[in-house]
Amino acid sequence: MTATNRTTRSPFDLSWKTGRDYAYILIGSLVQALSLRLFLVPAQLVSGGVSGAAQVINFYTGWPIGLMVLLGNAPLFLLGWRYLGGLRFALRTAFAVVTFSLFTDLLVPFLPTNGVTTDLLLNGLYGGLLLGFGLGLVYRGQGTSGGSDILARVLNDRLHVPIAQAYLAVDALVVLMAGVAFDWEHALYALVMIYISGVAADMASEGTDVFRTALIISSRGEQVAGQIMTVLERGVTILPATGAYTGVQRPVLYCVVTRAEVNRLKALVRDVDPHAFMVIGQAHEALGEGFRPLGKGNR
C-alpha cells in the first residue's frame, strides 16, 4: 500500500480564508440577532430550535434570551463535538453560538422594543428572510448555529433519521410550545416564517444561480453534440450506454446550460432529431470552463 501525502489544516489556521469564514459567521450571527429582536420577539413568532425555546421561556420568566440560548446550546455543543466534527467543528460552532447570544442581549437597548411593525405577516416574512440570510452566512463560513442544527445532524448520523425529518421533529416541538404559550395563530405564522428562513438560508449559502443539466439520447448523437457546441458554445460529454430492452448501443449526451438556454437547447435537439429522448434536471452551481472558475474562493 502506497502512502498518500495529505495536508491537514489546523483548526487554529490563521489564513485569510479562515478569517473570511469567521467574518461570515460574525455577520451572520448579527443578522440573526437583528431578525430576532426586530421581528420575531415583538411579534411572538418562534424561530425553532434552542432560540425558539428560549423565546417561550422568556415569555414566562423574563430571563435574557441570549443567555438561555448560550446555556441551552452547551450540552448540544458537547454532543456535536463528540459525534460530528472534533475541534474544528467545535470552534466555529462555539463562535457562532457565543456571538449570536451576545448580539441578542446587547442589542436590546439600541432597538425599538415593539419592533418595526405590528403586522404578523410582515414580521413573519421579513423576520424569516433576515433569519435565513444570517443562517446562510454562518453556513458559508462552514459553521452551524448550534441548537437544532446539531441535534438534527446527530440524529441523522447516529440513528439514521433523515435530516429533513430530524429538523421537522425538533422545530415542530418548539412550535407546539409556542402555540401553548402564545396562541395558535402565532404558531401557524411561525411555521410559514421557518419555511421562508429555510429558503433564504439555501439562497445565501449556495447562491441564487440555478443551472440545468441535460441528458440526451439520440441516434444522431454526434450531430446533436456538434450543434450544442457550435450554436450554444457549451461543452458536451458523450457517455457510452446500452438500452436495457433493445440491447442497442447508443451514446448519451450530457451538458450543462443556463435557464435562459433551455428552450434553445430543446429546439436545437428537436431540429436535429425529433425522436430524441431528453431529460432536463436542475443544478445549484456550475464551476469550471464556461461558468464560474473553480478557484480557491469556491468550495
Query: Residues 15-31: pLDDT tens digits?
Result: 777 888 899 999 999 99
**Residue 1 pLDDT more than 50?**
no
Q: Which helix (H) or strand (E) holds 214?
A: strand 211-217
Q: Give residue limits of the domains in the chain.
A: 16-206, 211-283
**Residue 63 pLDDT more than 50?**
yes
| Minimum mean pLDDT range among 82-96, 123-137, 206-220 | 82-96
**Residue 36 pLDDT more than 60?**
yes
More confident residue, 4 or 56: 56
Residue pLDDT, tens place only, 103-139: 999 999 999 988 999 999 999 999 999 998 998 898 8
Q: Over the range 5-14, which residues count as b (16 or more CB within 10 Å of their CB) and which as e? A: eeeeeeeeee
More confident residue, 19 or 207: 19
Neighbours of 26 (CB within 10 A): 19
The model's pTM: 0.72
Region of residue 190 (phi > 0: left; psi between -120 and 50: alpha; otherwise: beta)? alpha
- With H, G, I as helix, E, B as strand and everything else as coil, classify residue 120: helix
277: nearest Cα among 251, 244, 258, 248: 251
The whole-number pLDDT of residue 84 equals 61
DSSP characters over 254-275: EEEEEGGGHHHHHHHHHHH-TT
Burial class (CB in 10 A: 0-12, 13-18, 19+), 21: buried
C-alpha span between 227 and 225 (Å, rounded): 5
Q: Which helix (H) or strand (E) holds 113?
A: none
Please, which pLDDT band fits residue 170 given cuts at 50, 70 and 90?
confident
The whole-number pLDDT of residue 162 equals 63
* C-beta separation of 146 from 96 below 8 A: yes
Residue pLDDT, tens place only, 273-298: 999 999 998 887 777 766 667 665 45
224: nearest Cα among 214, 213, 212: 214
Please, which pLDDT band fits residue 6 given cuts at 50, 70 and 90?
very low
More confident residue, 233 or 161: 233
CATH architecture of structural domain 211-283: 2-Layer Sandwich (3.30)
What is the residue-averaged pLDDT of the chain? 83
Please, which pLDDT band fits residue 13 given cuts at 50, 70 and 90?
low
Please name the amino acid found at residue 192: V
Is the dihedral angle over the CA atoms 154, 158, 161, 162 positive or is it negative?
positive
More confident residue, 66 or 81: 66
Residue with the three cell numbers 466555529: 92
**Residue 145 pLDDT more than 80?**
no
